Amino acid sequence: MIDELKTFITVCRHGTFAAAGERIGLTQSAVSSQIKRLEESLGFVLFDRTGRSATLNAAGETTLARAEEICALYARLGDLPEDATNRGLLRIGAIASAQPTLVARALARLRQSQPLLRVHVSPGVSMRLMDDLDAGSIDAAVMIRPPFGLLPDLAWQPLVQEPYVLIVPADVPGKNWRSLLQEQPFLRYDRASFGGRMVERFLRREGLQVSDSIEVDEISGLIHMAAKGLGVGLVPLVEAHLPLPPGVRTLSLGEHTFHREVGLLQRKPRAGSPVVAQLALCLQEAARSSRARRSKKP
């Protein structure tokens, strides 16, 4: 019944069976079937149904709190007991660009105070990491700040601001970023990603028409494609990708520069884990270290 409970929680959080289905990759009818099985198993209905709408009833509200507790406990079944030989398991999700920098430095600090802690780092794009955290399969996520509101039981901790720049093949002349964007093939940061959505909003805001050539989600991929002369692109200037490869240069967007914010998404403290709180402190220290490194560069 764990799947049914997770679906029930998702319906409650997103308001409708259809919205819940989109969130977890099920059809509306599949969501409805899972809720029906759950109600049959419990012996009472969870929603008052009127036409196509469904409203959580009193029994459903009580069940929701218990379902969240059960799913949280289920997610922690893989944690080993905290004893003299093992300190449990910390499950972190992290975007690729943060793993060799922020995450690595934070874990080095965390290891000093928790030498026996086991850590599992899962890669992924920000949207998937947010869903994993919501489902309880990870304890925290280092990711790009979502361009929409967060669920009420989640907390956001900002870490670093990364400015977007225009990457240009080294042999392509010119310093006017507007002209280059409109004249050269455009290497697009995947629009399905949070970072790619920021690029799309920027282009619309500035009224820029581009000639889409290649669209990928990996920043390193975009940089190396520009180095091969395949076009220009708008990417965040990320520490993990510095120094840039020899075939590419960058142009500042000047007063039009926009930024992506990378931070830690976790459960609010009342429902969170003490070790996640320690990780958050270590990430703050790692972020300060990253800012110090940037300020020392000419």
Q: Are residues 154 and 104 in the same domain?
A: yes
Band (157; pLDDT cuts 50, 70, 90): very high
Highest mean pLDDT among 26-35, 265-274, 277-286: 277-286
Q: Are residues 151 and 97 in the same domain?
A: yes
Q: Give residue 159's pLDDT.
A: 95
The two three-digit tokens of residue 134, written as one number: 């919501």
Beta-bridged to residue 143, according to DSSP, are: 263
**Is the pLDDT score of 81 beyond 90?**
no
Considering its fold, how many domains does the chain have in total?
3
Is residue 65 a part of any domain in this protein? yes
Q: Are residues 196 and 138 in the same domain?
A: no
Which pLDDT tens digit goes with each residue over 20-62? 888 777 888 888 899 999 999 999 999 888 766 678 899 988 9
Band (83; pLDDT cuts 50, 70, 90): very low
Q: Are residues 239 and 286 in the same domain?
A: no
Q: Are residues 217 and 277 in the same domain?
A: no
Q: Are residues 175 and 256 in the same domain?
A: yes
Q: Are residues 152 and 171 in the same domain?
A: no
Q: Are residues 43 and 24 in the same domain?
A: yes
Q: Are residues 246 and 288 in the same domain?
A: no
Q: Are residues 20 and 71 in the same domain?
A: yes
Q: Are residues 207 and 228 in the same domain?
A: yes
CATH code of residue 11: 1.10.10.10
Burial of 61 (0-12, 13-18, 19+ CB in 10 A): exposed
Q: Are residues 279 and 255 in the same domain?
A: no
Least confident stretch, 4-13, 215-224, 257-266, 269-278: 269-278
Task: For residue 73, give the 3-state DSSP assignment.
Answer: helix
How many angstroms separate the Cα of 290 from the Cα of each of 83, 84, 112, 171, 285?
Answer: 34, 34, 19, 31, 9
Report the share of the chain in percent with pLDDT over 70. 91
Is residue 37 a part of any domain in this protein? yes
Task: Using a cut of 0.85, tell me whether the model's pTM lies above it.
Answer: no
Q: How far apart are CA 273 and CA 288, in angstroms?
A: 23
Residue-number span of the structural domain to which 17 is assigned: 2-75
Task: For residue 261, give the 3-state DSSP assignment.
Answer: strand
Is residue 265 a part of any domain in this protein? yes
Buried/exposed code over 75-107 (b: 16+ C-beta within 10 A; e: otherwise): beeebeeeeeeebbebbbbbbebbbebbbebbb
Rounded to 5 degrees, what are φ and ψ at 245?
A: -65, 155
Tell me the residue length of the chain. Answer: 298
Tell me which H or E stretch contains 280: helix 274-296
